[in-house]
Amino acid sequence: MIGPVTDDDRVFKALAHPTRRFLLDRLFARDGRTLTELESEVAMTRFGVMKHLRVLERAGLVVVRRSGREKRHFLNPVPIRQIHDRWIDKYQERHVSALTALKAELEEKHT
């Protein structure tokens, strides 16, 4: 059943843009960057970068912390892990169990 917009939807939507993935990669390389630092890495206006950061923040992928006068952006790996657990693990498990069944079947025929 398709329900209202979920946290997963926000994460997938946030990840579906190359600039936002690039910003996450920059934070992965070095966490806690300011808007000015991030802006200097992207060929985009400050306003554009802010807009993308807001989408990432709403999806929970970026957490903004105040440190003195600065706002620092941190990559929050938790939502990606949750998506991994809910989606990728599930399919990998089926994949693995299908292979295990195939192996058992082939070995049975073989003997």
Partner 1 sequence: MTATEKAPQAATGQTTRVYRIYIKATPQTIWDAITKSEWTEKYGYGGRSEITLTPGGLYKGYASDAMKAMGVPDVAVEGQILEVDPPRKLVQTWHPVWDPGVTAEPPTRLTWEIEEEYGVSRLTVTHELAGAPIAEAMVAGEVPNAGGGWVMVLSDLKTLLETGKSFAG
Binding site for partner 1 (CB under 8 A): 7, 30-33, 60, 63, 65, 67-68, 72, 74-78, 81-82, 85
Using the minimum distance from each CB to partner 1, give the nearer residue, 77 or 98.
77
Separation between Cα atoms, residue 103 and residue 15, nearest integer Å: 37
CB of 6 to partner 1, least distance (A): 11
**Residue (of 12, 5, 29, 25) closest to 80 by Cα position:** 12
The residue assigned the tokens 């693990």 is 89
CB of 82 to partner 1, least distance (A): 6
User: 32 in the Ramachandran plot: left (φ > 0), alpha (ψ -120 to 50) or beta?
Assistant: left
Using the minimum distance from each CB to partner 1, give the nearer residue, 51 or 81.
81
Using the minimum distance from each CB to partner 1, give the nearer residue, 84 or 103.
84
